[in-house]
Amino acid sequence: MGRVLVMGDIHGNLTAFNQCMERSQFDSNVDTLIQLGDVADRYENTAQVVEELLKIPNLIAIRGNHDVWVMNWLLTNKIETVWVNNGGKETISSYEKLAAHRIPEHKKFFTEIQQDSYTDSQNRIFVHGGFTHPKAPKFDLIKTQCHWDRSLLEAAVIGEKLGKKPTILSGFNEIYIGHTKTLVWSTDQPINIYNLWDMDTGAGSNGRLSIMDIETKELWQSDQVGPGIL
């Protein structure tokens, strides 16, 4: 049995991704990678990062809000202005360097391999943004909450200040999210509050990419990255 490692938002940063894989000594033959979404945008190697992820047999890929933009573009060829202004230009550039015959596999990655959330046998849930219904994202009335929500982390922060665990955290043994940079709290380390882990340590701009063993909590990180396209 191999390890299960969870990784935060990559944002097209191939160098940071490779550093995390090397430093954690990730073994594709036995280890499982759970990647929390936002593979895409801001740095120039989104297509190349996806190529590396597709090589991992035991991959559980979560869909982030930036990934939704890329998915829609690959399926329709329509370019949303809000996406271009948030790092999409760099993603488009990366796909200009990708061999055309690889495009179908990338469409499959964003539409079929990525999923909105994942719950394992130990009742640990993995989602990019969060959820507002205590039983999981699939019960949320607004289905895009799993890509965009920040209230889950905000509730945990407030609960910690008040000394009371929020009810929203009670449905799962552990909750792993990305989406909200821990740099907001002046740290480039994962934030753990009660049973919630925020793994977005700023690989999209000025922080680091993080990968962690979910059993032992051993952590590996990339070097600090430069400013990305916000």
Nearest-angstrom CA–CA distance, 161 and 155: 10
The answer to the question of residue 98 being in a domain is: yes
- Per residue in 49-106, pLDDT (tens digit) is 999 999 999 999 999 999 999 999 999 999 999 999 999 999 999 999 999 999 999 9
Determine the pLDDT at residue 45: 96
Determine the pLDDT at residue 130: 95
The answer to the question of residue 167 being in a domain is: no
Cβ–Cβ < 8 Å for 35, 61: yes
Determine the pLDDT at residue 149: 94
| Domains held by the chain: number | 1
DSSP E strand boundaries for 36-165: 59-62, 114-115, 117-119, 124-127
- Going from the C-alpha of 138 to that of each of 8, 14, 22, 33, the distances in angstroms are 22, 31, 35, 23
- Structure letter (DSSP) for residue 108: H
Phi, psi (rounded to 5 degrees) for 52? -70, -40
Q: What does the pLDDT average to over 105-124? A: 97
Q: What does the pLDDT average to over 125-133? A: 95
Determine the pLDDT at residue 228: 67
Check pLDDT > 90 for residue 187.
yes
The answer to the question of residue 229 being in a domain is: no
Determine the pLDDT at residue 138: 83
Check pLDDT > 70 for residue 230.
no
Tokens of 198: 């925020």
Determine the pLDDT at residue 141: 77
Nearest-angstrom CA–CA distance, 103 and 95: 9
The answer to the question of residue 42 being in a domain is: yes
Determine the pLDDT at residue 137: 84
The answer to the question of residue 54 being in a domain is: yes
Determine the pLDDT at residue 135: 83
Determine the pLDDT at residue 143: 85
Determine the pLDDT at residue 142: 82
Check pLDDT > 80 for residue 160.
yes
Check pLDDT > 70 for residue 165.
yes
Q: What is the pTM assigned to this prediction?
A: 0.96
CA-closest candidate to residue 37, choices 195, 180, 155: 180
Cβ–Cβ < 8 Å for 136, 126: no
- C-alpha atoms less than 13 angstroms from C-alpha of 58 in its C-beta half-sphere: 14
Check pLDDT > 80 for residue 14.
yes
* CA dihedral of residues 41, 45, 50, 55 (deg, nearest 10): -160
Which domain does 85 fall in, by range?
4-162+175-221
Cβ–Cβ < 8 Å for 227, 206: yes
Determine the pLDDT at residue 1: 80
Mean pLDDT, the chain, rounded, equals: 95
Check pLDDT > 80 for residue 212.
yes
- The enclosing domain of 130 has a CATH number of 3.60.21.10
The answer to the question of residue 58 being in a domain is: yes
Check pLDDT > 90 for residue 134.
no
The answer to the question of residue 227 being in a domain is: no
The answer to the question of residue 110 being in a domain is: yes
